[in-house]
Amino acid sequence: MELINKTIELVKEKLEGTESGHDWFHIERVWKLSLKIQEKEGGDKLIIELAALLHDIADPKFHNGDETLASKIVNEFLTEQKVDSETIEKVLFIIENMSFKNRNDAPGNLPLELKIVQDADRLDAIGAIGIARTFNFGGYKNNLMYHPDIEPKLNQTKEQYKKSNGTTINHFYEKLLLLKDLLNTKTAREIAEHRHQFMLQFLEEFYKEWNVTF
């Protein structure tokens, strides 16, 4: 489909040189996961594809915390592509309400399309890929990998989460291990089981090696 191909071109262009946990390959995985979930759960395929492809077009943490830039870019692009206003509104709604840090501010009765894209994005944050992305971002931020005297900060507010520079291992407890129980769809929850267990096994091995206990 021409619209999807043009969207892919835009995303690749905008995300060139981005930190590798939030680059085109992250977008591609979320897009593919969204389609797999959509096959089982239903929903408007075009809206799901557009939202999945465009959801990180301007991640606020790489744009001085600007939470409006992504919507501006997406609205302008889809308008130029002659996408109807109703579809644009639905795509923007997904992008503006799917993030982990905004979960307490999101309205109720979320549309299925948002639930699917959100699930796909959260699935990419757990398991082997999730572990790799977490350590990559921790290195990008020059955060400590682990410190036994620094406790995880649970139940953070949105502002606390945005400003957090805790250890990479603490991020497992502050976000990654919480995601399995925040998934919306049956299909995503099934996929998450193995990925969640893999992270628990990784942490067990990490502590053994850190503490030199065998």
Range of the domain at 131: 2-210
pLDDT at 114: 96
Q: In the prediction, which pLDDT does 26 show?
A: 95
Distances (CA, A) of 125 to 64, 79, 107: 22, 31, 23
- What's the confidence (pLDDT) of residue 159? 61
For tokens 């796909």, the residue is 120
**Per-residue model confidence (pLDDT) at position 60:** 62
Sign of the Cα torsion 58, 59, 60, 63 reads negative
Q: Residue 132 is part of a domain; what is its CATH number?
A: 1.10.3210.50
Angle (deg, nearest 10), helices 2-14 and 45-54: 10
Digit-by-digit pLDDT tens for the chain (214 residues) are 899 999 999 999 999 888 778 899 999 999 999 999 999 999 999 999 999 999 998 676 655 556 788 899 999 999 999 999 999 999 999 999 988 766 666 667 899 999 999 999 999 999 999 999 999 999 999 999 999 999 998 876 656 555 566 899 999 999 999 999 999 999 999 999 999 999 999 999 999 999 999 7
Is 24 within 8 Å of 31 (Cβ atoms)?
Answer: no
- Tokens 């071109």: give the residue: 9
Measuring CA to CA, which residue among 140, 122, 131 is closest to residue 18?
140
Give CA–CA dist 22/184, Å, rounded. 22
pLDDT at 39: 98
Concatenated DSSP letters of 45-70:
HHHHHHHHHHTTTT-GGGTTT-SSHH
Token digits for 37?
């979930």
What's the chain's length in residues? 214
Domains held by the chain: number: 1
Q: What is the pLDDT of residue 157?
A: 61
Euclidean distance between CA atoms 143 and 139, whole angstroms:
6
